[in-house]
């Protein structure tokens, strides 16, 4: 049986507020306004009282599927949120899709968008190149704003070993300002990349965000990047929960070594050796209230039924949270 969801069927079905998802045994989350309110409370009000955090599906996890399929599947299996990649959104608009309508369809299915990945090549090494990059960056911010995303990730790229840290912080400061002032309060979050030559550590990224002197500066954290970049997990305890804008959730096997691991090595949370349960306890301690987003790039998963992958992933996340005792 084909996994393809007909676009017309998707558009017609969202008006039923995810009735198909209920029939499939999924649980639907609250609309964005309610979700944001619950995030502030920080109680176990997600996933039938199991989780203090909304659980989000990052679309890379089931990458071969269309954006419409990814959204419908996220709702069907019980995710609270969907975290698209910018190419999903760009391709949808190029094919004639209306992003504002898509945003409403997402909320009609009981989901919200905590973040979009992301603003690529938005921190080039000099002023002229930065100014030239803003046309594309602004267009991506526009798209994120139209679908109702709360944040968009800024990637410290083009990557280079001689990345100028103060200059990168200045770029991030200006991106924050543009997002908030020009795109309905869109928050730009800083994401460090564990296998980059430039900005790959939690401490360095934290300092760059702090040096913007912007109260809304925040990080996108990722269990994979904490391990791959060598930061480890104990630094989380030194942060305020509000300083983390979104947290990508995944695991790694013992081999290859974590410094050698790459995106395709990510596996289901709980199937590897990362200290995920302790990380959850630390996130609860520091008052983190935003989403946990399942993000994998596992080629074997991409060949499987995306519903099975998404359903397995959310169950693994729920098991993680239960085992942590938060």
CB 122 within 8 A of CB 175: yes
Tens digit of pLDDT per residue, the chain (326 long)?
A: 344 444 444 444 444 434 333 333 333 334 444 444 444 455 889 999 999 999 999 999 999 999 999 999 999 999 999 999 999 999 999 999 999 999 999 999 999 999 999 999 999 999 999 999 999 999 999 999 999 999 999 999 999 999 999 999 999 999 999 999 999 999 999 999 999 999 999 999 999 999 999 999 999 999 999 999 999 999 999 999 999 999 999 999 999 999 999 999 999 999 999 999 999 999 999 999 999 999 999 999 999 999 999 999 999 999 999 999 99
- Residue 294's φ and ψ, nearest 5 degrees, are -70, 115
Following CA atoms 220, 225, 226, 227 in sequence, which dihedral angle do they give, to the nearest 10 degrees?
160
pLDDT of res. 291 = 98
Assigned token pair, 165: 């840290």
* Listed residue (187, 112, 186, 124) closest to 155, CA to CA: 124
Provide the whole-model pTM: 0.88
pLDDT of res. 27 = 35
**Domains along the chain with CATH numbers:** 25-324 (3.20.20.150)
C-alpha span between 163 and 241 (Å, rounded): 27
pLDDT of res. 17 = 38
Q: What is the DSSP string of 58-73?
A: EGGGGTTS-HHHHHHH
C-alpha span between 308 and 181 (Å, rounded): 41
C-alpha span between 107 and 126 (Å, rounded): 40
- Residue 154's φ and ψ, nearest 5 degrees, are -100, 120
């Amino acid at each position: 049986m084909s996994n393809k969801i007909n676009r017309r069927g998707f558009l017609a079905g969202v008006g039923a507020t995810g009735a198909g998802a209920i029939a499939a045994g999924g649980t639907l989350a609250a609309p964005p306004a309610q979700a944001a309110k619950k995030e502030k409370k920080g109680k176990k009000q997600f996933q039938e009282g199991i989780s203090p955090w909304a659980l989000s599906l990052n679309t890379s996890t089931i990458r071969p599927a269309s954006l419409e399929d990814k959204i419908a599947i996220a709702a069907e299996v019980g995710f609270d949120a969907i975290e698209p990649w910018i190419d999903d959104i760009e391709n949808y608009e190029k094919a004639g899709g209306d992003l504002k309508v898509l945003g409403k369809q997402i909320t009609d299915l009981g989901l919200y968008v905590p973040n979009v990945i992301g603003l690529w090549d938005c921190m080039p090494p000099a002023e002229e190149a930065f100014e030239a990059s803003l046309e594309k960056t602004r267009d991506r911010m526009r798209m994120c704003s139209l679908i109702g995303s709360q944040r968009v990730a800024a990637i410290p790229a083009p990557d280079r070993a001689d990345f100028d840290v103060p200059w990168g912080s200045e770029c991030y400061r200006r991106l924050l300002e543009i997002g908030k002032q020009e795109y309905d309060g869109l928050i730009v979050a800083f994401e460090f990349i564990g296998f980059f030559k430039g900005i790959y550590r939690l401490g360095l990224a934290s300092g760059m965000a702090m040096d913007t002197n912007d109260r809304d500066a925040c990080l996108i954290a990722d269990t994979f990047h904490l391990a791959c970049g060598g930061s480890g997990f104990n630094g989380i305890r030194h942060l305020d929960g509000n300083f983390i804008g979104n947290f990508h959730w995944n695991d790694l096997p013992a081999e290859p070594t974590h410094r050698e691991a790459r995106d395709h090595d990510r596996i289901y949370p709980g199937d590897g050796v990362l200290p995920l349960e302790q990380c959850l306890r630390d996130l609860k301690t520091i008052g983190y209230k935003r989403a946990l987003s399942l993000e994998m790039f596992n080629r074997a998963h991409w060949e499987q039924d995306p519903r099975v992958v998404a359903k397995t992933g959310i169950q693994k996340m729920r098991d993680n949270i239960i085992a942590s005792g938060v």
